[in-house]
Amino acid sequence: MLGVISTSEALKAAFAAGLDLVEISPAANPPVCRIMNFGKFKYEESQKEKMARKQQVGSIIKEMKFHANVEEHDYQTKLRHIHEFLEKGYRVKASLMFRGRENEHRELGFELFKRLMKDCEPVGVAASPPKLLGNNLFLLIHAPHSIKKPEMPSPPAHQAQTNV
């Protein structure tokens, strides 16, 4: 800590130490500078940014594709996968593509997505109602921040009082 000194004196001190004069906070009045190795400073900053990006969890979206005439077993399998994704914290994009004559019965797709939203209520919430874009129907489901897990039922009274 040298205090408030002129720029020329600071440069002389940095040169005498064999280091660089690095401006840390240019917005401050007077600007804050530090005598240090600038190459090492840049390297450490890049490492901090790299670690911050590595630990940042992006919003991963998993997609599940449906058809308007999906069979019950296929629907249950896809629903189970959606539940697993939501429990892991992923967002799920359900999509349904109308092909050929399915375009005439788009209400089947909307009914399927209403059923899907109802079946996903324990683990997820629909971000918005299903959206129709061209021949495709989309629904985005995400896990709510606080999912209440069912509590374990207490044991019956006759089992709780057994002492041996």
pLDDT at residue 28 in the model: 85
Q: Are residue 27 and residue 71 in the same domain, yes or no?
A: no
Identify whether 150 is part of a domain: no
Check: CB of residue 2 under 8 Å from CB of residue 13: yes
Residue span of the structural domain in which 68 resides: 61-142
Identify whether 148 is part of a domain: no
Q: Are residue 30 and residue 101 in the same domain, yes or no?
A: no
Q: Are residue 70 and residue 116 in the same domain, yes or no?
A: yes
Give the angle subtended at the CA of 66 by the CAs of 61 and 70, to the nearest 5°: 150
Indicate the average pLDDT of the chain: 83
Q: Are residue 88 and residue 48 in the same domain, yes or no?
A: no
User: Tens of pLDDT along 88-147?
Assistant: 888 999 999 998 888 888 889 999 999 999 998 888 888 888 999 988 999 999 887 644
Identify whether 106 is part of a domain: yes
**Separation of CA 113 from chain center:** 23
User: Tens of pLDDT along 66-82?
Assistant: 988 889 999 999 999 99
Q: Are residue 70 and residue 113 in the same domain, yes or no?
A: yes
Q: Are residue 83 and residue 23 in the same domain, yes or no?
A: no
Q: Are residue 76 and residue 137 in the same domain, yes or no?
A: yes
State the total domains in the chain: 2
> Residue 36 in 3-state DSSP?
strand
Q: How far is CA 20 from CA 3, 36, 37, in A?
A: 17, 5, 6
Q: Are residue 38 and residue 106 in the same domain, yes or no?
A: no
Residue corresponding to tokens 């992923």: 90
The CATH number of whichever domain residue 27 belongs to comes to 3.10.20.80
Q: Which residues have a Cβ under 8 Å from the Cβ of 75 and sit 6 or more positions away?
A: 66, 112
Q: Are residue 129 and residue 76 in the same domain, yes or no?
A: yes
Q: Are residue 35 and residue 67 in the same domain, yes or no?
A: no
Q: Are residue 134 and residue 94 in the same domain, yes or no?
A: yes
The CATH number of whichever domain residue 130 belongs to comes to 3.30.110.10
Check: CB of residue 109 under 8 Å from CB of residue 98: yes
Check: CB of residue 39 under 8 Å from CB of residue 57: no
Average pLDDT over residues 53-62: 77
Identify whether 107 is part of a domain: yes
- The DSSP code for 9 is H
User: Tens of pLDDT along 132-143?
Assistant: 998 899 999 988
Concatenate the DSSP letters of all residues of 41-70 into one string: HHHHHHHHHHHHHHHPPP--EEEEEE-TT-
Specify the DSSP element, H or E, that contains 63.
Answer: strand 61-66
- Report the candidate in 129, 133, 135, 75 with the shortest Cα–Cα distance to residue 100: 135
Identify whether 154 is part of a domain: no
> Residue 34 in 3-state DSSP?
strand
